[in-house]
Structure 1
Amino acid sequence: EDVKRCGACGGSGVRVVRQQIAPGFVQQMQTTCEECGGKGKKVAHKCPKCKGKKVQSGSETITVDVERGVPDGHEIVYEQQADENPDMKSGDIKFKLRQLPHPLFRRDGKNLKMKMRLSLKEALLGFERKVPHLDGHVVTVSDSGTTQHGHVRKVRGEGMPEHNFPSSKGDLLVEFEV
């Protein structure tokens, strides 16, 4: 009941302005109505909180749960959670995940890759190393024989969990540098 048709434009949202630019020449322009902002309606008694705009400013904190094994570039979408406006449908909030580089591991799909330096003595006589994994547990990498430079050892099940199937994991691929 407080929303009335704009009297300045007759509810059309536009006004026709005529201007004489020279004797016998009249220019006619159509412009957005300044009274109603092109909406064709005006609020008679404006709300003190929103000042008649039908929206209020505010902020909200969103907690985003990132599932195990989510790949780089994955999007998490909160549908219809963006800004609201009475004249429009609320949009979506989208988070695009980017993985940061790690000093020890490099991700390759489900697999994790790493390089391990060995001394000549370790390469010839064997070695045992403890590697702290991303989730905090310790992985033991060892060999009792000789290890060549560039050799890649696969440690099964010590890679990244597969998204939506966290019990399925990739492998840890260790490349040796002698």
Structure 2
Amino acid sequence: MNLTNIENQDLGEEERSMNGVRSFRCSGDGRGGFYEHKSMENCFPHIPSCLSRSGSRRSSTPTRSDLCRDKSHKSSDANGFHESLSRNASRRSTTPIFFSNSTGMVKPPPIEKKLECTLEELRYGCLKKINFTRDVITNTGELIQKEELLTINVKTGWKNGTKITFEGMGDERPGTEPADVIFVIDEKRHPLFRREGDDLELAVEIPLVKALTGCTIAVPLLGGDNMTLTIDEVINPGHEKIILGQGMPRSKEQGQRGNLKVVFLIEFPNKLTDEQRSDIVNILEGSY
């Protein structure tokens, strides 16, 4: 049974089968003690022979025919016991279990390595070329080191933790199959965006005056572009704006993308003059 393509497959134990059954037989010597009594009927013809009848009743010595029947019965029981154990042993015996493939060689657990990718690489896709050295066994049985080059085609929309498996690319060892090598996508932290599934989140800080009076701002997009966003309403701290279709590609939905969520942070002035305070009070007094 070929199990090469199964990952983290635990290897089974080799079952043990019963090679034979030892039977035990009991055998008798076939001898018994017998007492012969002369008949007294000739001496006392009118008196029944009590000794003969009582001896017949009291005698516990088995006859030859009894011993033969008993021996035959025990032999039959022993043969039945032997056949029963043989049937049980036959039922328990199974075909040996191979480990990882038809060769029966053990396959070590897979080797996992991190593959760092930026959000831009996961947004647009890219090719990653990886050089590494592994041990291989030559045709003459010599163990040498060989340079390998692997190419990984990173698909658009892949998420953190996505696994790419290369079968049998681990070190070779005598008597074992080479292990699989698994590369795990490790998403690098971005200075501006934070990923949530297929969506992106961007924090934008604006001055207090713009938050109160409205403004037009340039919102950066993943990849280097910008888009213009006009704010007409009053912006409170933590206020959010959703820009549709500017998130990460949906790997299972061709041509579809998540959204970009813009979170506003309000920048308050560090200090105000007395005149500014007075003006703010006059303007905002009674507005609540």
Same-fold call, TM cutoff 0.5: yes
In structure 1, the partner of 2:130 is none
Q: TM-score, normalised by structure 1?
A: 0.63
Partner of 2:231: 143
Alpha-carbon distance, 1:174 to partner: 0.9
- In the other structure, the counterpart of 1:94 is 182
Q: Which residue of 2 aligns with 1:155?
A: 243
Q: State which of 242, 252, 258 in structure 2 corresponds to 1:170.
A: 258
- Is 1:121–2:195 an aligned residue pair? no
**Helix, strand or coil: the match of 2:154?**
coil
Render the CA deviation track for 1:73-132: whole Å, top value 9, x for unaligned.
111112233334574333322111111111111111111112111111211222222233
Counterpart selection for 1:73 from 152, 161, 164: 161
| 1:142-161 per-position Cα deviation (integer Å, ceiling 9, x unaligned) | 21232111111111111111
The equivalent position to 2:191 in structure 1, one of 90, 100, 103, is 103
- CA–CA distance in structure 2, aligned partners of residues 51 and 140 of structure 1: 65
Structural mapping, 1:17-36, within 5 Å: none
Determine whether 1:134 maps to 2:222: yes
Indicate the larger mover: 136-145 or 72-81.
136-145
Per-residue deviation at 1:173? Answer: 0.8
In structure 1, the partner of 2:56 is: none
Given that residues 105 and 112 in structure 1 are in contact (C-alpha distance below 8 angstroms), is that contact kept between their aligned partners in structure 2? yes
Q: What is the rounded CA distance, in whole Å, between the counterparts of 2:230 and 2:170 in structure 1? A: 52
Kept in 2: contact 1:54–1:86 (CA 8 A): no
Who is 1:45 aligned against? none
Distance, in Å, in 1 between the alignment partners of 2:226 and 2:236 is 24
Which aligned pairs between 1:33-72 and structure 2 lie closer than 5 A? 52-72=140-160
Where does structure 2 lack aligned partners over 5 or more consecutive residues? 1-136, 267-288
Partner of residue 42, structure 2: none
Q: Which whole-Å CA distance do the structure 2 matches of 1:103 and 1:166 have between them?
A: 28
Measured at CA, do residues 82 and 165 of structure 1 come closer, stay the same or move farther in structure 2, by a change above 3 Å? farther
3-state SS of 2:151 partner? coil
Percent identical: 30
Per residue, is there more helix in 1 or in 2?
2
Q: Larger RCO: Structure 1 or Structure 2 (Cα < 8 Å, ≥ 6 residues apart)?
A: 1
Aligned residue type for 2:156:
R
Q: Give the partner amino acid of 1:177.
A: L
What is the root-mean-square deviation of aligned Cα atoms in Å? 2.3
Cα distance in 1 between the residues matched to 2:155 and 2:224:
17
Greater Cα radius of gyration, structure 1 or 2: 2
Aligned length: 130
Relative to its length, the structure with more strand (as a share) is: 1
